[in-house]
Amino acid sequence: HVLNELIQTERVYVRELYTVLLGYRAEMDNPEMFDLMPPLLRNKKDILFGNMAEIYEFHNDIFLSSLENCAHAPERVGPCFLERKDDFQMYAKYCQNKPRSETIWRKYSECAFFQECQRKLKHRLRLDSYLLKPVQRITKYQLLLKELLKYSKDCEGSALLKKALDAMLDLLKSVNDSMHQIAINGYIGNLNELGKMIMQGGFSVWIGHKKCATKMKDLARFKPMQRHLFLYEKAIVFCKRRVESGEGSDRYPSYSFKHCWKMDEVGITEYVKGDNRKFEIWYGEKEEVYIVQASNVDVKMTWLKEIRNILLKQQELLTVKKRKQQDQLTERDKFQISLQQNDEKQQGAFVSTEETELEHTNTVVEVCEAIASVQAEANTVWTEASQSAEISEEPAEWSSNYFYPTYDENEEENRPLMRPVSEMALLY
């Protein structure tokens, strides 16, 4: 029954896309309809319909027939989705364009052109309802796959069906995240250069200081800032959600960029006294420490897990890079030593074996002076090395210098820390 619904609704979906493209989009190029169309609307076709034509071609030419081949072989449904999961990324482009499309529709929805197209098609619903179909369809797939999986447990193909469900859920998350990313205003540069977006969400944020004696009871008197955080592979971006009025503003958020921290300079404190929803994010050697409060503990732990994963990956990359550099230096040193030994052999071949007694004495004196110089230098190096060793036994300055306003001084040694990746070590 579920498989039949999947196939039947796919057929209806393809037919609806075709009707809209033929009955509305193509009509915008029909000279006979120009008189009914506002002049400024004529060049807005690509914005109004986005990449709907691309979506239609994929479903009509490829995906529908693939699903129909699964009608008597439910075990093929999983592979059918998995083999084409990259094609579904075209929905991200459609969804990202949706706010612009709705702006055009709200401006021209009452014009005679759209009314005439609707009359010819004998549609009960207006165009905006059909423009929403691709968004509804990409959401519907995961619901149908869940139902299909419920009745297919321990059956052939159930494992691949589960992977297909996960792939469609990941797609929805990716599309949703991309909708938030395009709403960021004021960032100078290309956000895509920050790597894949891992998570995004809203938080209450306070600014603490590592040296001032701020207590949590004092901090509580200050109203927190509302910030939307975007966690990427290479950076974490802080934004402020803009409050906008007007139709559609509640569905499509807008953000003002505040600042961006590179992940290789970020450190975290996982537990903050007084509220288990809070954690700290701090950057390099800066004075400011951001105290972040999630909506609940589960959200906090999910964010901490993803941040730890990023820091650990960077730690591994830096370790590999350092090892390669060390290997290159070792090979270079070996080569230089070999060259030096060859030079000494060549020079020795030209030294006369006959020396006067005075020359011999001078040579001995020079050697003794050289030995004394080397010993003095060695003593100096040993002293510096000893001092360096003594210093290294002390706690790292980056941790002991940071003031954490939510902890008593005698608690600081026991709380878990994540050391900046640039220090080549992680502490928990």
Query: Residue 376 and residue 378: Cα distance in Å, rounded?
Result: 5
Domain ranges for the chain, please list them: 2-182, 185-339+399-428
Q: In 3D, which of 205, 390, 392, 416 has the Cα closest to residue 308?
A: 416
- Comparing 45-59, 157-171, 260-274, 352-366, the range with the smallest average pLDDT is 352-366
Looking at the domain 2-182, which fold is it? Answer: Dbl Homology Domain; Chain A (1.20.900)
Cα dihedral sign, 385-391-396-398: negative
Residues whose CB is less than 8 angstroms from the CB of residue 204 and which lie 6 or more positions away in sequence, other chains included: 224, 225, 226, 227, 292, 293
Per-residue pLDDT, 212? 55
Cα dihedral sign, 84-90-92-95: negative
The runs of H, that is alpha helices, within 83-219 are: 90-108, 112-121, 127-131, 133-150, 158-181, 216-219
Per-residue pLDDT, 359? 44
Architecture of the domain made up of 185-339+399-428: Roll (2.30)
pLDDT tens-digit readout, 376-415: 443 433 333 333 333 333 322 222 233 333 333 344 444 4
pLDDT tens-digit readout, 61-79: 999 999 999 998 888 999 9
Per-residue pLDDT, 387? 37
More confident residue, 382 or 53: 53
Look at the chain and count its residues. Answer: 428
Residues whose CB is less than 8 angstroms from the CB of residue 299 and which lie 6 or more positions away in sequence, other chains included: 201, 277
Q: What are phi and psi of 228, to 5 degrees?
A: -105, 120
**Exposed / middle / buried, residue 2 (Cβ in 10 Å: 0-12, 13-18, 19+):** middle
Q: Residue 420: pLDDT band by 50, 70, 90 thresholds?
A: very low
User: pTM above 0.85?
Assistant: no
pLDDT tens-digit readout, 181-216: 999 999 999 999 999 999 999 999 998 766 554 555
Residue entry with tokens 């290479």 = 234
